[in-house]
Homo-oligomer: A and B are copies of this chain.
């Protein structure tokens, strides 16, 4: 099987052996917004032609590739949604003459006030990590961080937080940009200060201005300001998401380290399963369900 996580900004393909192990990886900064309509099959072929020639398919794809701007629009499946609901909503297509493909649907959920939320891609990681995380809270940090509640092996509800994107626009386009001279790396003490400040219970809109005043008065070095802001935002997110007891975090190495630090400061237990393993396991489980169902 080939599992593909095709998002807004990146293309990531994993060649999965029969036993479930990832034997090869191809990534490219070719998110769906960089692919012209009608060109998805060609772009896929350009990156994994040799795998396809080897008969490594089928290709199971998730993420924004199933959105309106993607290869084929695959409607969101409403929560609660588990592997069976995702499998039932999957869309078949031909990758080439010899290889079949599947595009998996995302999940949508409506909160008590009727406001919708959506995910595409994260649901597969969550369902693929159930052996590690079981029922409970899942956190998938990123540009748009997801917090999902899983019960009975289904995604029951979830909320998206615009944390990563807010960090990015504030660092690049707000008055806070003037207080920062580096955005890479992490100043651990400043990050922890930000988390603690957020946990003190103040208002996010006010705490953001504090980045500027602390810098203005020489209490926050410009090399540490971005880390402090990151801690503030993640701290507020965790305070509002209020995961109790235990959280399963599915994140890249860099974000996993930040969330581990912030959760530890919040006194919340966490586990950090491998997000790639979760993705490929999720794709494989859905493929197996469809085969069992005789499809």
Contact = CB atoms under 8 A, between A and B. Distances in A.
A120 to B, nearest CB: 11
A160 B209 CA distance: 6
A203 interface: yes
B175 A173 contact: no
Interface string A229-245: 00001001100110000
A18 interface: no
A156 interface: no
A144 B209 contact: yes
B203 A117 contact: no
A159 B206 contact: yes
Interface string A203-224: 1111011100110110100000
Interface residues of A, number: 40
A210 to B, nearest CB: 5
A163 B206 CA distance: 8
Nearest to A207: B115
Contact of A161 (B160, B172, B205): B205
Contacts of A161: 203, 205-206, 209
Interface string A173-208: 111000000000000000000000100101111101
Given A161-B205, A205-B161, A217 B173 contact: no
Contact of A210 (B117, B203, B206, B208): B117
A230 to B, nearest CB: 13
Interface in A101-139: 111, 113, 115-118
A162 interface: yes
A189 to B, nearest CB: 16
A111 B206 CA distance: 11
A193 to B, nearest CB: 10
A118 to B, nearest CB: 6
A197 B217 CA distance: 36
A265 interface: no
A175 to B, nearest CB: 6
30 contacts: A113-B197, A115-B213, A116-B210, A116-B214, A116-B216, A116-B217, A116-B219, A117-B209, A117-B210, A117-B213, A159-B206, A160-B206, A161-B205, A161-B206, A161-B209, A162-B206, A163-B205, A166-B208, A169-B169, A169-B170, A169-B174, A203-B237, A203-B241, A204-B204, A204-B236, A204-B240, A205-B233, A205-B236, A205-B237, A206-B240
Given A173-B173, A203-B241, 4 more contacts: A159-B203, A162-B208, A203-B240, A204-B204
Interface of A: 111, 113, 115-118, 144, 159-163, 165-166, 169-170, 172-175, 197, 200, 202-206, 208-210, 213-214, 216-217, 219, 233, 236-237, 240-241
